[in-house]
Structure 1
Amino acid sequence: MSSSWSDLAVQAVGALTGTIAGGAITVLVARWQTAKAIVAQTDLASAQQAADARLARVEREHERSSEAARQLLERLADLHAWLPSLPDVAAEPPRLSATARDSCRTAMESLRRGMHTELFGIGQGEARDRCRALVKLTYDAGWRQEGQDHPTRVVRDIRNCLRYVQFSLEAVIDGRPLPSHAEPPVLERDTPEMWLPPEIPGHWGDPADLS
């Protein structure tokens, strides 16, 4: 009888020990799973915060670039308006109009100031380089007198290059890819054909743009 009670007690203790051990393991597993879930949620939140920060930075950079491009477009507007009047078609041989040249000089001074202010607000280096190339081209024609054997073609070269830069700045504002790269025209060349970029936007259909 005593042996039976002893066996029963041992079995009871074993069962109780197993229950306690099993419960402890269950608690440990639950805690591990909870800790793992917390870590995963923390990592996800950190990743989301980092993504939000990157997006905000990109939006700020685009906003800054867009505003700078708009201001440069405003500076280019006067130069674009006066360039067609540069050749004095009434003169024989044709020469540059003094009045138009003075107006272009004023517009170029404004654009040159933009090279020291708004230009640095544009994030795309290629867009900045195109603006600088236009300024150099215009000064080469106006002050170094390059291409004077073909004054009408030089004006058309510069105007088409200006339109190409305008199109590039519009792409910056819209967040579109820049038009294909094109080397600026060489003013000192024998051919009378005007320079055109390899990619001509559809809204250049106005004959005045390609005149």
Structure 2
Amino acid sequence: MYEERPALLGGAVVWHRRDARPGPYRVLPDGGTDLILTPGGLLVAGPDTVAHVGTGAAGDTYTGLRFAPGQGPAVLGVPAHELRNLRVPLADLWGERRARIAAERVAGAAEPGAALEALARARLADAEPPEPYVPAVVAALAAGRPVAEVAGAVGLGERQLHRRSLAAFGYGPKTLARVLRMNRALALARAGTPPAAAAALAGYADQAHLAREMRALTGVPLTALL
């Protein structure tokens, strides 16, 4: 069972998953990081460049806060590229004591998802805010605008944008654009749009291009995901 809702942090999502039976699960790249309450404590899932495949046990429950692209570093306190394609205990970032206290508060809350939101908001209140151009970069890349055009629009050179994107998103703008485009095409297909039309609307050259990118980023064809 999986369910999610919009979080109080703009663009973030609170989600909950319970594994009904043991077996593998696949988490697709989405440009963001997650703070997750697991049976073993609080875990950080870094930004993925390809799908992460894990194995769950029957009855395991997970509650997570998925940050919008560029939002996680301000909460977690580390550049996103240091977490790329990793799953690390929060204790590795905050220290054993602080992470244990945070985990106990979240696990003991009536609504762990709301407790994760409160934890993140408290951290944001004391942290340096994300760079103001971050939402504009995400929006422009999600709309399919070329990287050079996006860099110019936010007043940065392409190399500057690449360097700052590593810290904010975990990878460069071209990779983020690929991830956002893949998710856009998948959302269209899940809503019933035929694959060829989904490819065109998402900005792919053709359906074959969509198929190649879907396999490269998720490890399986679009039909399997659907």
TM class, shorter-chain normalised? under 0.3
Larger Rg: 1
Larger fraction in strand: 2
Superposition TM-score, scaled by structure 2 size: 0.22
Superposition TM-score, scaled by structure 1 size: 0.23
Larger fraction in helix: 1
